[in-house]
Amino acid sequence: MVPSALEGGPPVVLYPDECWFCGCCVGHCPTPGAISMNHPLNQRAAWKRKETGEFFRIGMKNPPPPNLRPPVGGW
């Protein structure tokens, strides 16, 4: 991003199609809270419970309890 031509205006994104959604711009922004990252739906981690069909996403309000069972092949 580069500063806009107008002082105090929004930044100009030069190559928006080349965004990798890494979040570096959010981490290096000198003004806290000025920008935020909203990842596309296909890049958000999600899982579905086989037994009940429940669908879960990272960051949801009521996530399931952690799975403490060891993997099939052992730790």
Position 25 in a domain: yes
Q: How many domains does the chain have?
A: 1
The residue-averaged pLDDT of 25-53 equals: 79
Position 12 in a domain: no
Residue 42, pLDDT score: 66
pLDDT tens digits, one per residue of 40-73: 766 777 788 888 888 887 777 777 777 788 888 7
> Is there a contact between 63 and 56 (Cβ–Cβ < 8 Å)?
yes
Domain with 48, as residue range(s), is 20-57
What sign does the CA torsion over 22, 23, 27, 28 have? positive
pLDDT bucket at 4, cuts 50 / 70 / 90: low
Residue 65, pLDDT score: 77
